[in-house]
């Protein structure tokens, strides 16, 4: 394992320097002007109910970010369908609107109306847990002639022509490698990683019809976001989810929605058009997508630039960049667990840690502003096309110096900081007020991400054991995680 990069020393600005900085200057973003160019990107905290409703804990999570008065906060990936999806927020029915409105009201109140609020709209395909081997072979595997033929080659014709139940038992009795050799590649994947649908599974009617199904689903969801009082929506076209999979170079659908870059961008653009038609020009609509998928055979920076130009020309209001986070190279999950798209090389790039590369390597960059060059490439392409669409850069941004340089060098128009904002939700305000020295600085070792991976309430190692520090907003009691061991919210600034 690579040695860790040290958290670099930094110089924080005085209040006067902050006041004349680009970071703390206004920036238009579609229908609104953000007070500053600071941005808290989407972060799932695992605090919704099993039915996808906003809880008091969800509301407090966003209220706490709003204390720092960033220019923009994006609410976590929120499902556009009305289907069970565990404790992830949902917006797939009108009954979710009142709960989401409470989130909006809390953010408005805590930020004094200074923070603009977006919600990230997501669709995803089915991913099942890695099955136990005997269950897979006895129950899930669809036995075909090809299996019998390959089995016959190993054990002899007569034994392979017995009843289906006997064939299954024979398959189960084989050494694991031989069983794998008999299975087709997708069956092998289902056994080793768990069954996972792809946008290229056009033999499945609900996958074939995604281009018809998704535009109205996203449009309805955006209309609900508007009704709940949000300032706009972010279409989730990043990481391992449906719209990202359409954009991926690995998408070879033959129905006009895969293959060429134009065909891969078609569904995200049709979703955007449906959303815009529903919410009108007075509501901000942008997209988050990948500056680089990182995976073998996946989309690279030139694809991202191509999509960015199409999105900007179509009238999207902002383009937010992320990196990696794919299923394709994810680590094998344990039996009974689902594959998680942030465990392979692309996942490590998505939330880069101080161990992302070896500081001794001459080309190492560490996590700090690691992917800004991808935002810069996209921005240059969009500007060359004559569009002023703002670009949001992310990845290891945690100091004023890195943020300000990214903006003044023209790499992006907003700087997004996820983990630094979790480590210290007040950090933007502290820096703006010339009190940067008191910022709790993120360690970039991904304790928070490990909690996310296990679907546990996300907290930060820098403060979640401070059970004796006060609760925020003068409340009497500190709220604790389900196991009672961790506080759920960063302590307030000490007076
Ligand atoms: C706990 C956690 C949850 C996240 N959830 C989302 C999400 O719902 N949608 C999204 O686009 N990115 C998500 N991300 C990625 C972040 O928005 C961000 O792109 C990434 O952490 C890199 O930025 P950073 O270095 O400032 O943390 C999540 C990150 C973390 C740590
Ligand atoms: S848990 Fe670690 S990586 Fe996550 S926000 Fe806190 S310090 Fe940063």
Return the ligand 2 atom nearest residue 422 CA.
5
pLDDT of residue 158: 75
Closest residue by CA, ligand 2 atom 4: 448
Tell me how many degrees the CA angle 215-217-222 measures, rounded to the nearest 5: 95
Task: Report how far ligand 1's centroid is from the alpha carbon of 35 (Å).
Answer: 22
pLDDT of residue 450: 97
pLDDT of residue 157: 75
**Cβ partners under 8 Å of residue 270, min gap 6:** 211, 214, 215
pLDDT of residue 495: 65
pLDDT of residue 2: 62
Task: Report how far ligand 2's centroid is from the alpha carbon of 423 (Å).
Answer: 6
118 lines ligand 1 (CB under 6 A): no
Mutation to probe ligand 2, out of 43, 68, 443, 465 (largest number of atoms < 8 A from CB): 443
Q: Terminal CA-to-CA distance of the chain, rounded, Å?
A: 41
Task: Report how far ligand 1's centroid is from the alpha carbon of 44 (Å).
Answer: 8
Dihedral of alpha carbons 294, 299, 302, 307, sign? negative
269 lines ligand 1 (CB under 6 A): no
Return the ligand 1 atom nearest residue 352 CA.
25
Question: pLDDT tens digits, residue range 391-402?
Answer: 999 999 999 999
CA gap 293, 375 in Å, rounded: 13
Q: Pocket residues for ligand 2 (CB within 6 Å)?
A: 419, 422-423, 442-448, 460-462
Closest residue by CA, ligand 1 atom 6: 43
Task: Report how far ligand 2's centroid is from the alpha carbon of 55 (Å).
Answer: 23
pLDDT of residue 154: 87
What the chain holds in terms of domains, given with CATH numbers, is 15-125+204-462 (3.20.20.70), 133-193 (no CATH)
309 lines ligand 1 (CB under 6 A): no
Ligand nearest to the CA of 416: 1
Residues 211-217: contacts with CB within 8 Å, 24+ apart? 211/255, 211/257, 211/266, 211/267, 211/270, 214/80, 214/123, 214/242, 214/243, 214/267, 214/270, 214/271, 215/270, 215/271, 215/273, 215/274, 215/275, 216/274, 217/80, 217/81, 217/92, 217/123
CA gap 493, 469 in Å, rounded: 10
How would you write the pLDDT of the chain (495 residues) with one tens digit per residue? Answer: 568 999 999 999 999 999 999 999 999 999 999 999 999 999 999 999 999 999 999 999 999 999 999 999 999 999 999 998 888 999 999 999 999 999 999 999 999 999 999 999 999 999 999 999 999 999 999 999 999 999 999 888 777 678 999 999 999 999 999 999 999 999 999 999 999 999 999 999 999 999 999 999 999 999 999 999 999 999 999 999 999 999 999 999 999 999 999 999 999 999 999 999 999 999 999 999 999 999 999 999 999 999 999 999 999 999 999 999 999 999 999 999 999 999 999 999 999 999 999 999 988 999 999 999 999 999 999 999 999 999 999 999 999 999 999 999 999 999 999 999 999 999 999 999 999 999 999 999 999 999 999 999 999 999 999 999 999 999 999 999 999 999 999 999 976
pLDDT of residue 12: 98
41 lines ligand 1 (CB under 6 A): yes
Ligand nearest to the CA of 43: 1
351 lines ligand 1 (CB under 6 A): yes
Return the ligand 2 atom nearest residue 353 CA.
3
DSSP letters spanning 74-127: EEEEEESSSS--SSS-B-SSGGGHHHHHHHHHHHHHHTTT-SEEEEEEE----B
Q: % helix / strand / coil in the chain, to the nearest 5?
A: 40, 10, 50
Return the ligand 2 atom nearest residue 444 CA.
3
pTM: 0.97
């Amino acid at each position: 394992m690579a040695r860790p990069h040290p958290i670099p020393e930094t110089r924080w600005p005085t209040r006067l320097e902050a006041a004349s900085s680009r970071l703390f200057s206004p920036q238009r973003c579609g229908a609104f002007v953000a007070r500053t160019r600071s941005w808290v990107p989407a972060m799932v905290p695992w605090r919704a109910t099993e039915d996808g409703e906003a809880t008091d804990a969800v509301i407090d999570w966003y209220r706490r970010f709003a204390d720092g008065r960033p220019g923009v906060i994006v609410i976590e990936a929120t499902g556009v369908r009305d289907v069970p999806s565990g404790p992830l927020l949902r917006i797939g029915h009108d009954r979710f609107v009142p709960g989401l409105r409470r989130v909006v009201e809390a953010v408005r109140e805590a930020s004094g109306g200074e923070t603009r609020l977006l919600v990230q709209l997501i669709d995803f395909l089915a991913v099942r847990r890695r099955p136990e081997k005997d269950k897979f072979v006895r129950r899930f595997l669809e036995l075909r002639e090809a299996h019998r033929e390959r089995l016959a080659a190993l054990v002899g014709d007569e034994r392979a022509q017995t009843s289906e139940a006997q064939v299954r038992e024979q398959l189960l009795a084989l050494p694991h490698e031989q069983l794998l050799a008999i299975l087709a590649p997708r069956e092998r994947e289902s056994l080793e990683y768990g069954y996972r649908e792809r946008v290229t599974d056009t033999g499945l009617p609900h996958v074939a019809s995604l281009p018809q199904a998704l535009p109205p689903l996203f449009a309805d969801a955006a209309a609900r976001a508007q009704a709940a009082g949000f300032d706009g929506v972010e279409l989730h076209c990043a990481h391992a989810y449906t719209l990202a999979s359409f954009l991926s170079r690995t998408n070879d659908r033959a129905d006009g929605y895969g293959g060429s870059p134009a065909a891969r961008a078609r569904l995200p653009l049709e979703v955007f058009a449906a959303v815009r038609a529903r919410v009108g020009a007075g509501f901000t609509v942008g997209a988050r997508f990948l500056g680089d998928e990182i995976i073998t055979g996946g989309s690279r920076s030139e694809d991202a630039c191509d999509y960015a130009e199409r999105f900007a020309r179509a009238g999207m209001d902002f383009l937010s960049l992320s990196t990696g986070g794919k299923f394709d190279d994810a680590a094998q999950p344990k039996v009974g667990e689902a594959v998680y798209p942030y465990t392979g090389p692309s996942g490590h790039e998505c939330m880069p840690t101080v161990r992302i590369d070896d500081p001794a390597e001459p080309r190492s960059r560490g996590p700090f502003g690691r992917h800004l060059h991808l935002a810069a490439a996209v921005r240059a392409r969009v500007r060359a096309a004559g569009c002023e669409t703002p670009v949001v850069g992310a990845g290891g941004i945690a100091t004023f110096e890195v943020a300000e340089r990214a903006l003044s060098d023209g790499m992006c128009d907003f700087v997004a900081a996820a983990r630094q904002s979790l480590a210290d939700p007040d950090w933007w305000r502290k820096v703006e007020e010339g009190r940067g020295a008191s910022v709790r600085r993120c360690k970039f070792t991904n304790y928070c991400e490990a909690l996310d991976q296990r679907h546990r309430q996300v907290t930060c190692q820098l403060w979640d054991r401070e059970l004796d520090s006060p609760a925020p907003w003068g409340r009497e009691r500190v709220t604790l995680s389900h196991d009672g061991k961790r506080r759920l919210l960063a302590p307030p600034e000490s007076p």
